[in-house]
Amino acid sequence: MSGEVSQAIDPKVLWGGGRSPFSMSYGKMMMWFFLISDALTFGGLLTALGLHRHRHADIWPKSEDVFFHFPFVSHDTHLPLLYVAMMTFILIVSSVTMVLAVEAGHRMDKKKVIMWLALTVVGGFFFLGSQVWEWANFIKGSEHGALKIEQPVTLGDLRIPDGTVAQWADHSQTSLKLPWKDAETGEHVILSGDQAKEVISHGRVIYGANLHENEYGLTQYADFFFFVTGFHGFHVFSGVVINIIILIGVVMGTYHKRGHYEMVEKTGLYWHFVDLVWVFVFTFYYLL
């Protein structure tokens, strides 16, 4: 019985009809199944993000006010989402190089497969390094931090609950910008003078973001940032590792001896999926 199970069976024996369902290899089919299940996972995460954002729409932080830094540029310089956009561009370019690697594999051009696959790996490393840099800045926070209210404060008709995070309205740290907007003007509520001093006396300055508090506003904003981008970053990291393993196989001539580069194509499916997911993350988390 064990011998029959392990025996390779010709697809022609299994299918005697017209168009065969076995035109796709088993490995490629399993990759598609995995990608579909993984897409459902990311879809659930982004749906949860959308629900939380809708629930706290009035006080949800704007990503352009959070991610405005750029390497080797002064922190006082505001370049909203420019570095994240560059990360996205590099990842998309790496998807193009992967396409070229697969195409070169179809032509059995080993040298071009090595070149384009190596460039894909470089693009993946650049994205991972950039994401580490983004995380470090997000965790470290700004130079002046923000004020977290630790006791409820009542100023006339205005009640500020504990846990509220107020941004400094100026560099002198004497006035505050509350997270919600005035119903009449549509602008953020600004407190100054004695009102600001009263609120400041009931709070403490916090820096950066972690799983307990967030300088930029709601802790849920930081929670989703860490989980969604971290989960995607793990996919990019695993994709880079797999690409390196496949690249070694290509250099050693393993796939050339087989007469095809299907492993490069299967790896390419995963890499394209990782790139596509990031486009959705970039859109739903950073842009909207």
Q: CA 204 to CA 216: how far, in whole Å?
A: 14
255: which 2 tokens? 């796939």
Q: CA 94 to CA 80: how far, in whole Å?
A: 23
Detail the DSSP E strand segments found in the chain.
146-149, 153-155, 158-160, 165-168, 176-181, 188-191, 203-206
What's the mean per-residue pLDDT of the chain?
91
> Which domains does the chain show, CATH number per domain?
38-44+61-141+217-287 (1.20.120.80), 146-206 (no CATH)
Taking 50 as the threshold, does the pLDDT of residue 2 lie above it? no
Note the pTM of the prediction, 2 decimals: 0.87
Residue 25 pLDDT:
80
Angstrom distances, CA of residue 268 to CA of 118, 124, 206, 264, 275: 13, 13, 43, 6, 10
Residue 96 pLDDT:
98
Taking 50 as the threshold, does the pLDDT of residue 13 lie above it? yes
**Could you report the per-residue pLDDT of 213-233, keeping only the tens digit for each?**
999 999 999 999 999 999 999
Query: Residue 1 — pLDDT band, cuts 50, 70, 90?
Result: very low
**Could you report the per-residue pLDDT of 127-139, keeping only the tens digit for each?**
999 999 999 999 9
